[in-house]
Amino acid sequence: MEWPNILPVPSKDGYSYKPEACVLRTQMEGKRRIRKVFTKQPYIFNITLRCTDKQLAVFEYFWKNELNSGLNWFDMPLTSGKGISTVTARFMDEPDINTDGRYWRVSGSIEIEELPLYSETEYNDAIGEI
């Protein structure tokens, strides 16, 4: 499922994200055992879309019908430290919709399967620039 092109990319204003815990810690005699639970580390993003009336109508249809009220996964553009990348996401709950009188603000939390990261070459190039 693709994010409709008419919808905006989430704005960076009020934007936040954090990784889900991907390790399990178990207290054992003497030492604590730590192991990975996921091969891909999910991230939770709090996003806001700034929409016109038409964009809001498209979002409402997309969320209810295409995403099955937010249950289905979809591909969308998302900004992280690497810039704008396409990620696979799904909504964590129903979005909040407010207005400032001119635009609609659609806010909610999404889960993404994996955060786009630098490749080893991109990382080495970036730290070499410092």
Domain that holds residue 67: 16-116
In a domain, 121, yes or no: no
The dihedral region occupied by 110, where left means phi > 0, alpha psi between -120 and 50, and beta the remainder, is beta
Tell me the pLDDT tens digit for each residue of 52-110.
Answer: 999 999 999 999 999 999 999 999 999 888 889 999 999 999 999 999 999 999 999 99
Total domains present in the chain: 1
Tell me the pLDDT tens digit for each residue of 2-24.
Answer: 999 999 999 887 788 887 776 67
In a domain, 34, yes or no: yes
Please give the Cα distance from 31 to 41 (Å, whole number): 25
In a domain, 127, yes or no: no
In a domain, 130, yes or no: no
pLDDT at res. 38: 66
